[in-house]
Amino acid sequence: MIPAEMKRPSFKANPIPRACSVLIYAEKIKEEELKRGKRIRKNAEMAFAKAKMPPTMQKHADRKKSEPPKLLPEEYPFKPTIGPQVTGKMLADRAAKFQQELAKKKGQKTQTQPRSPDFVKRPNKIVEKPFINEGDQSGTDKQRMLMQRLAATAKSSRAGGDGESVGTVKNPSSTKAAALS
C-alpha cells in the first residue's frame, strides 16, 4: 500500500457562482444605454435653453410661429395653351416630307467634282558636294576626306624633315589635324 503522505489529495470544486448563470452583462448594457439616452436628452435641453438668437431675429421667429401657415399656394389667373397631341405616325410623316424636300434641293445644285492636283515635275538638283548628295553611295566619308585635306595642307606648309617651318607659322584649324600630320 501507498503511504498517506504520498497520496494525492482528492479534487473538490467550488460551487458555480450565481453571476455565471444570470445574464448580468446584458442588463448592464441596457442600463448604460438608458443612462446615456437620458444624459444626451438632458444636455440637448440645456444647450437649447442656452442658445439664443439676437433680439430682432428672436422677435421675427416668434412672429412667424404665431402666424397661421399658408396652406394653399396662390392660384394664377392664366393657364398656358397646350398644343394638340402628336403621334408617332405624324412625326414619321413630317420626317419623310422633310427628307423629300431635302433631296429635291440637293438635286437642284451641282456637286463639286473632285480632281487630282496638277503637280509639276521638277528636275533633280545635283549637289556639288558628293558627301551631301544622298543619291551618291560611294564609299567617301566626309570626316575622313576633310582630315586628309588638312593633313595635306599641313605637310605642304612645312619645310624640311625636322619639323621646323620656314616663314610664317600657321596654326591648324583643328587640333586633330595637327596630331594626324
The overall average pLDDT reported for the chain is 79
| Lowest-pLDDT choice from 12-26, 62-76, 156-170 | 156-170
% the chain with pLDDT above 70: 77
pLDDT at residue 16 tops 80: yes
Highest mean pLDDT out of 27-31, 33-37, 106-110, 143-147: 33-37
Residue-wise pLDDT tens digits, 121-178: 777 766 566 566 555 555 557 788 888 889 998 888 874 554 444 556 666 666 655 5
pLDDT at residue 27 tops 50: yes
pLDDT at 141: 73
**pLDDT mean over 77-104:** 91
Cell 624640311 locates to 160
Q: Please give the full DSSP string across 131-148, using - where no structure is assigned.
A: TT-TT---S--HHHHHHH
Closest CA to 172 of 153, 144, 145, 146: 153
Measured CA distances, 78 to 10, 12, 85, 130 (Å) = 103, 97, 21, 93
pLDDT at 116: 85
> What's the number of CA atoms in the CB half-sphere (13 Å) around residue 140?
15
pLDDT at 56: 93
pLDDT at residue 2 tops 90: no
% the chain with pLDDT above 90: 23
pLDDT at 138: 55
Task: Supply the DSSP symbol for 111.
Answer: P
Contacts of 138 (CB under 8 A, 6+ apart): 130
pLDDT at 165: 47
Helices (H), the chain: 18-21, 24-50, 55-66, 88-108, 142-157, 175-180
